Amino acid sequence: MTDTAAGTVHDRHGGLLRRISDTLFRHPHLLLTLLIAPPLLWLGIVYLGSLLALLAQSFFSIDEFSGMVKREFTLSTYAELLNLANVDVILRSLVMAVAVTLAAALIAFPIAYYAARYARGRWKAFFYLAVMLPLWSSYLVRVYAWKLILAKEGIITWLADKLYITWALDAILALPVIGGPSLSISYIGTFLVFLYVWLPYMILPTQAALERVPANLLEASADLGAVPRQTFWTVIFPLALPGLIAGSIFTFSLTLGDYIIPQIVGTSTYFLGQAVYTLQGTAGNIPLAAAFTVVPIVIMGIYLSIAKRMGAFDAL
């Protein structure tokens, strides 16, 4: 046995900082509270608070004579939302968002699958770079670049001419509703730009989900007699679905809310974001603008509850 002088077993030295860290060690909840309080205040008060204030506006209405907001509870603004013209805007945005999301999922999945399963080292770095690089440049620059690409004097028209497929381009532009005088002044153009701009937001979560699918599950599936098609639909797809859903939340809501792309590329008809932008700006109709912002929130809510009911999040 060795004799130990009292007080030499533990290190009891240290000043204020030491004492603070000791206190935090003894009270882990205090540390947690200190860490999450600022973001919680930000999210809870600044963000959610202003969102609620905005939503509350949708239950007011505007005085048709004075143009002032009447601060009385009414559903008349929502009734206005159901005007044929407004429903048109909502449906147009909804169809565009669905189309962009489906197309993005179709294009993103093979890319994400390749990156998750096969790309290694240098190729993986290249993948990330290729997907992320467009996000580093200005959104406006990219959209205007697309306007030039899609314009009648643009590279697509030129290429079609050189390849002697102008007839095909003309046939596409001649399509009812989605066609138009040129790609940059048609719904097809709007769709293509939306698709390009939001595609990374679909690829990345899908790739992350696929990356988490252990390779031995695919071997187990094959071992149990599943041909590759069955393995895809019964193992890979369900396990990647949360990633696809996460990606679709991005592409869907970003398309629903965007007001710049349809303004630069496309017809002069309104999408949801443009309607909100105009109503709260030049028109000064804050209640109707607020009612319009409720629409994508409700649509997303419905979409997520359907996805949940279909078991999209079971693999989480």
Partner 1 sequence: MTSAVSFQHVSRHFGPVRAVDDVVLDIAPGEFFAMLGPSGSGKTTCLRLVAGFEQPTSGHIEIFGETAEGLPPYRRNVNTVFQDYALFPHMNILDNVAYGLMVKGMPRRTRETKARDALDLVELKGFEARRPSQLSGGQRQRVALARALVNEPKVLLLDEPLGALDLKLREQMQVELKTLQRNLGITFVFVTHDQSEALSMADRVAIFNNGKIVQVGAPKDIYERPRTRFVADFVGSSNVLPPDFTQRTGGPGKWVSLRPEKITIAAGGMKPGSHAVEATVTSVHYQGAVTRVNTEAAGQAIAVSAPSSFGAVNIGDIVTLQWPADAFHAMEDEA
Cα–Cα distance for residue pair 144/140, rounded to 1 Å: 6
Q: Where are the beta strands (DSSP E) in the chain?
A: 61-62, 69-70
For residue 214, the minimal CB distance to partner 1 (Å) is 7
Which of 227, 268, 298, 309 forms a contact with partner 1 (CB under 8 A)? 227
For residue 216, the minimal CB distance to partner 1 (Å) is 4
Nearest to partner 1 of 221, 280 (CB atom): 221
- Residue 75 DSSP code: S
Nearest to partner 1 of 178, 218 (CB atom): 218
Q: Which residues pair with 61 in a beta bridge?
A: 70
Question: Which residues lie below 8 Å from residue 38, measured CB to CB, with a gap of 6+?
Answer: none
Amino acid identity at 14: G
Instruction: Check the CA dihedral 202-203-209-213 and report its sign.
Output: positive
Q: Does 307 help bind partner 1 (rule: CB under 8 A)? A: no
Nearest to partner 1 of 222, 300 (CB atom): 222
Q: Does 219 help bind partner 1 (rule: CB under 8 A)? A: yes
Where does this chain touch partner 1 (CB under 8 A) — which range of 165-173, 209-217, 259-267, 281-289?
209-217
Q: Which two tokens stand for residue 65?
A: 């004579």
Nearest to partner 1 of 41, 220 (CB atom): 220
Q: Does 235 help bind partner 1 (rule: CB under 8 A)? A: yes
Residue ranges in 238-267 that form contacts with partner 1 under rule CB under 8 A = 238-239
Q: Does 310 help bind partner 1 (rule: CB under 8 A)? A: no
Q: How many residues bind partner 1 (CB under 8 A)?
A: 19
**What is the number of residues in the chain?**
316
Q: Where are the beta strands (DSSP E) in 13-71?
A: 61-62, 69-70
For residue 135, the minimal CB distance to partner 1 (Å) is 31
Which of 222, 294, 300, 307 forms a contact with partner 1 (CB under 8 A)? 222
Where does this chain touch partner 1 (CB under 8 A) — which range of 23-31, 104-112, 140-148, 231-239?
231-239
**Torsion-angle region of 47 (φ positive above 0: left; ψ -120 to 50: alpha; else: beta):** alpha
At residue 111's C-alpha, the angle toward residues 185 and 232, to 5°, is 120
Among 71, 53, 55, which Cα is nearest to 291's? 55
Which of 217, 297, 302, 306 forms a contact with partner 1 (CB under 8 A)? 217
Q: Token match 């937001």: residue? A: 201
Please report, as ranges, the residues that interact with partner 1 according to CB under 8 A: 214, 216-217, 219-227, 230, 234-235, 238-239, 314-315
